[in-house]
């Protein structure tokens, strides 16, 4: 949400202009990721790429159910504080699609946190941008707090899908220190904890419930 204050400086330091930003790739539409999206889109003139199931989040019109209703209440307050402006997706993408950025970025649909939550995988660099699939801090990696997950029963399947990519590096959206190989190790540990120690009877079927 603070990007509005430091992004122009970062872009300038990299020797770039706002117009050099070719696309805005959204992992999902939660307010902490999309709070300044309208500004960013205008400032950079870049199109917003996102999964179609995130459109309602960006409109501020997603109806949360269950425990995640608390997330909806918090976002409602946050939108008012930030004078949030709804944004439309310029270009929708789908699972498995290869986006023509950074030498090719594959869209990896990882639902659970939100319905259209996606990661982006660079095969060339074996690097996964994992969005909010998990958070990585020094005391260990963990799933996002329950109130922030729209469909938590889909998360184990998404963890397994990300693990199957066998990334060498992982960059989550919420972390302590910028060290993609640590995050990969923490992700592996989290997968072992959640996926490998499950009661076999509790494994979700390969057809995730919707």
**Contact residues for Zn ion, defined by CB under 5 A:** 30, 32, 132
Q: Report, in Å, the least distance between residue 174 CB and Zn ion.
A: 6
Handedness of CA 77, 63, 42, 98 (dihedral sign): positive
Q: Report, in Å, the least distance between residue 150 CB and Zn ion.
A: 9
Q: Report, in Å, the least distance between residue 206 CB and Zn ion.
A: 25
Toward Zn ion, which CB reaches closer, 30 or 183? 30
Q: Coil, helix or strand for 48?
A: strand
Toward Zn ion, which CB reaches closer, 115 or 132? 132
The answer to whether 49 and 91 are in contact (CB under 8 A) is yes
User: 204: which 2 tokens?
Assistant: 């979700």
Toward Zn ion, which CB reaches closer, 54 or 132? 132
Q: Coil, helix or strand for 152?
A: helix
How far, CA to CA in Å, does 143 sit from each of 67, 134, 159? Answer: 15, 5, 10
Toward Zn ion, which CB reaches closer, 18 or 142? 142
Question: φ and ψ at 46, to 5 degrees?
Answer: -90, 145
Q: Report, in Å, the least distance between residue 40 CB and Zn ion.
A: 16
Toward Zn ion, which CB reaches closer, 65 or 205? 65
Q: Report, in Å, the least distance between residue 58 CB and Zn ion.
A: 13
What element of type H or E holds 101?
A: none
Residue nearest to Zn ion (CB): 30
């Amino acid at each position: 949400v603070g990007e509005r204050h430091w992004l122009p400086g970062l872009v300038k330091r990299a020797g770039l202009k706002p117009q050099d930003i070719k696309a805005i790739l959204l992992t999902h539409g939660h307010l902490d990721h999309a709070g300044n999206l309208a500004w960013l889109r205008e400032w950079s003139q870049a199109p917003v790429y996102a999964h179609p199931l995130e459109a309602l989040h960006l409109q501020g019109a997603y109806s949360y159910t269950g425990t995640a209703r608390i997330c909806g209440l918090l976002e409602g307050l946050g939108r008012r504080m930030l004078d949030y402006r709804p944004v439309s997706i310029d270009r929708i993408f789908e699972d498995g699609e290869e986006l023509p950025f950074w030498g090719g970025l594959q869209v990896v649909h990882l639902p659970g946190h939100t319905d259209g939550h996606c990661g982006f995988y660079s095969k060339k660099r074996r690097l996964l941008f994992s969005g909010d699939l998990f958070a990585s801090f020094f005391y260990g990696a963990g799933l996002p707090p329950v109130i922030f997950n729209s469909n938590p029963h889909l998360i184990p399947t998404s963890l397994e899908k990300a693990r199957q990519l066998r990334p060498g590096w992982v960059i989550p959206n919420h972390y302590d220190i910028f060290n993609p190989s640590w995050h990969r190790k923490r992700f592996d540990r989290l997968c072992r904890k959640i996926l490998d120690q499950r009661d076999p009877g509790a494994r979700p079927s390969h057809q995730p419930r919707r």
